[in-house]
Structure 1
Amino acid sequence: MSNFLMRREDEYNHAPDPVPNFNESVYSNGFDFRQRVGGWMRLGNRVNEGRAELSVCLYLPDGRVACQFQRPRIEHNNAFDAGGLSYEVIEPFKSIRMQYEGDLLIVDNPDDLREPQRLFAEGPRLPGRVDFTHVASSPIHGGEPTDDVTPTMYGRDFSRGHFNQHGKVDGVIEVGAERWQIDGRGWRDHSWGPRYWQAIYYYRLFIANFEDGDGFMLLRITDEAGKTRRLGVLLVDGEYEEVTDLNVITDWTDKHDPHRVRLSVATDKRKALIDAEVLTLAPLRNRRQVDGETLISRIAEGYSKFTWDGREGFGMTEYIERVEDGQMVGYPL
């Protein structure tokens, strides 16, 4: 990615921009293939708003979801540490650790996440702990653009800088009396700059790892004017191959959630057909008040199985889009 600059200091927190919606966020996921357990964590510092966005979402082997979503208060952007969730860089470009300790909401039927107010008021909770250590199995992908025209992964109105990386994940997940030692693979990212979730018109994102170390990150993103970008990477033998073309065909549920997806991908070195099956979906939403109007985005977070050349891998299917007049703007694309 010749149009991007990635510095060692970009692994750490950045000085906030003087805009209300400055955000700096870190994300990690990890999945144990044999135990069919895993999940993701995200902490987004919105220091100019005096708060962070905390998300923990775990997919348990029996189909339950254990999760937590908070907006804890913060006073600075010097660290990622709020609400029981923390993130540390062990070695730049190589290894990070992300940990959560606190209550988790136990969701027997993930569909109940469509009514979060009731669920969070009445749902059962258990103490939980998550500890993921990522060790890189790929180069860093992304950084900060070196010119004024190159978009970041999701666009400059969503982040000024962004990078991501596949890796080996070791750690533990504890939910009440249940405990899983994690020996798997995952993905992490780090973004900084102005962000509102509603800046995304709609996108389809797929992140996967395979036991042999291969993987991918594939993104199809469309703006309000209808312009679509297809981007991402295939990870093959420890090296990234930039995507030159990507097509996405989705089979939908009756609630307009992704269920199965057929991906056709091209790089300069190969073509690939990849099938995705969403195993457990967390149907989430983001709401924001702007000038007296409530803006809503649908955020569908699906723990998924991927099949590529006869191999099974695991990871995430993420569909984000605005909801306008009660309709998801990207459906059925």
Structure 2
Amino acid sequence: MSERFVMRPEHEHPHAPDSSLNFNESVYTNAFDATSPVGGWMRLGNRVNEGHAELSVCLYLPDGRIACQFKRPKITSNERFEAGGLKYQVIDPLRSVSMEYEGDLIIVDDPEALREPQALFAHGPRLPGHVRWLHEAESPVHGGEPVHDGVQTMYGRDFSLGHFNQHSRARGEIRVGDEVWAIDGRGWRDHSWGPRYWQAIYYYRLFIANFSNGDGFMLLKITDRQGKVRREGVLLVDGRYEEILDLDVMTKWTGRQDPAFVRLGVMTERRRVRIDGEINVLAPLRNRRKAGDDVLVSRIAEGFTRFDWEGRKGWGMTEYIERIEDGALAGFPI
């Protein structure tokens, strides 16, 4: 990766926005407890040229409920990652960061309510929430800023220019009302900057996981409108990243065309492995954007997943993003 991307400590901090209306600078973290099925993810995307940020908090509680919040708080600069009660701080560049949310959370007893969320967001039950976790690196940084215009970026230049990610040791806690859950486990983070519309992704399948011995993976299969497929990602083994050479994805679907189970075949220079993932709880989210007289819609399915890597168990995320056109999912049933 070092021959294709440059990664410096200053890339951890906000970048000067370019003139693109849809310039976005995004930070994301997830964290999962090692011994109990609790965890989640938080994201803040600064869209300063549009005057707002995208705030997302999605927490998976042990009894199957989801506690979440989605907002577009106003911002006037890209000088910090802080808006709407969500704050991200760089403690030690490339080594340690924290993310914290203070505010109310929508309590979702049945995740199906997220398919048409207007009523849920307007009238759903809410409780005060507090989330904080600290990430300490357990891997190198993967990615960075491309060294020249010919370098293929992870998601494509119409989704982000610079992008890096890292697996981490994660510690903290989740508070929802009077209930408290410790987070003592592992997680993953990423940071990207550049022009972004969610609808620039035609469809992709993303898998992220950590295991108790510190190993993990980030695996991406992404397809454009012309059917061109790219496979990107890494296996983390003994503290080192191995770039993947090939990735096969087999999905078992529910009657609602949601992923329920995945089987992954992964090849690097050093190994060939099979990884299975059972989706524990799925948050069926969507993103809508107006483009002229049209409304473009994408499905964003966020699955809290229990992975099995040849007998080792770990927690992580399964994320399926795709355009919805004429009521049909672009990638289903692939």
Give the corresponding residue for 2:211. 210
C-alpha separation in 2, matches of 1:207 and 1:226: 24
The answer to whether 1:99 aligns with 2:100 is yes
Give the corresponding residue for 1:257. 258
Structure 2 portions without partners, runs of 5+: none
Give the corresponding residue for 1:137. 138
C-alpha separation in 2, matches of 1:188 and 1:308: 21
For residues 5-20 of structure 1, what are the structure 2 equivalents within 5 Å? Answer: 5-20=6-21
The answer to whether 1:25 aligns with 2:30 is no
Which SS does the other structure have where 2:98 is aligned? strand
For residues 291-302 of structure 1, what are the structure 2 equivalents within 5 Å? Answer: 291-302=292-303
Structure 1 portions without partners, runs of 5+: none
Give the corresponding residue for 1:119. 120
The answer to whether 1:317 aligns with 2:312 is no
Query: Displacement of 1:181 after TM fit?
Result: 1.5
1:280-305 CA deviation, whole Å, 9 max, x = no partner?
Answer: 00000000001111000000000000
Which SS does the other structure have where 2:267 is aligned? strand
The answer to whether 1:50 aligns with 2:47 is no
1:252-300 CA deviation, whole Å, 9 max, x = no partner?
Answer: 0000000000000000000000000100000000000011110000000
The answer to whether 1:239 aligns with 2:240 is yes
Which SS does the other structure have where 1:274 is aligned? strand
Which SS does the other structure have where 2:287 is aligned? strand
| RMSD over equivalenced CA pairs, Å | 0.5
Which SS does the other structure have where 2:165 is aligned? strand
Give the corresponding residue for 1:198. 199
Q: Which runs of 4+ in 1 moved over 6 A?
A: none
Which SS does the other structure have where 1:113 is aligned? helix
Query: Displacement of 1:33 after TM fit?
Result: 2.3
C-alpha separation in 2, matches of 1:305 and 1:153: 25
C-alpha separation in 1, matches of 2:38 and 2:323: 30
Give the corresponding residue for 2:172. 171
Q: Which amino acid counterpart does residue 117 of structure 1 have in structure 2?
A: Q
The answer to whether 1:267 aligns with 2:268 is yes
Give the corresponding residue for 1:223. 224
- Aligned identity (percent) is 67
The answer to whether 1:84 aligns with 2:85 is yes
Give the corresponding residue for 1:280. 281
Q: Which amino acid counterpart does residue 178 of structure 1 have in structure 2?
A: E
Q: Which amino acid counterpart does residue 298 of structure 2 have in structure 1?
A: S
C-alpha separation in 1, matches of 2:145 and 2:230: 18
Query: Displacement of 1:315 after TM fit?
Result: 0.3
Q: Which amino acid counterpart does residue 268 of structure 1 have in structure 2?
A: E
Query: Displacement of 1:308 after TM fit?
Result: 0.5
Give the corresponding residue for 1:151. 152
Query: Displacement of 1:148 after TM fit?
Result: 1.1
Which SS does the other structure have where 1:61 is aligned? coil
C-alpha separation in 1, matches of 2:134 and 2:186: 10
Query: Displacement of 1:144 after TM fit?
Result: 0.8
Query: Displacement of 1:151 after TM fit?
Result: 1.8
Give the corresponding residue for 2:4. 3
Query: Displacement of 1:109 after TM fit?
Result: 0.4
TM-score of the superposition, structure 2-length normalised? 0.99
The number of residues matched between the two structures is 333
C-alpha separation in 2, matches of 1:17 and 1:152: 18
Query: Displacement of 1:115 after TM fit?
Result: 1.2
C-alpha separation in 2, matches of 1:322 and 1:14: 29
Q: Which amino acid counterpart does residue 293 of structure 2 have in structure 1?
A: G
Which SS does the other structure have where 2:190 is aligned? strand
Which SS does the other structure have where 2:155 is aligned? coil
C-alpha separation in 2, matches of 1:3 and 1:273: 28
C-alpha separation in 2, matches of 1:116 and 1:151: 36
Q: Which amino acid counterpart does residue 209 of structure 1 have in structure 2?
A: N
1:31-70 CA deviation, whole Å, 9 max, x = no partner?
Answer: 0021210000000000000000000000000000000000
Q: Which amino acid counterpart does residue 21 of structure 2 have in structure 1?
A: P
C-alpha separation in 1, matches of 2:233 and 2:196: 21
Q: Which amino acid counterpart does residue 26 of structure 1 have in structure 2?
A: V
Give the corresponding residue for 1:108. 109
Query: Displacement of 1:149 after TM fit?
Result: 1.5
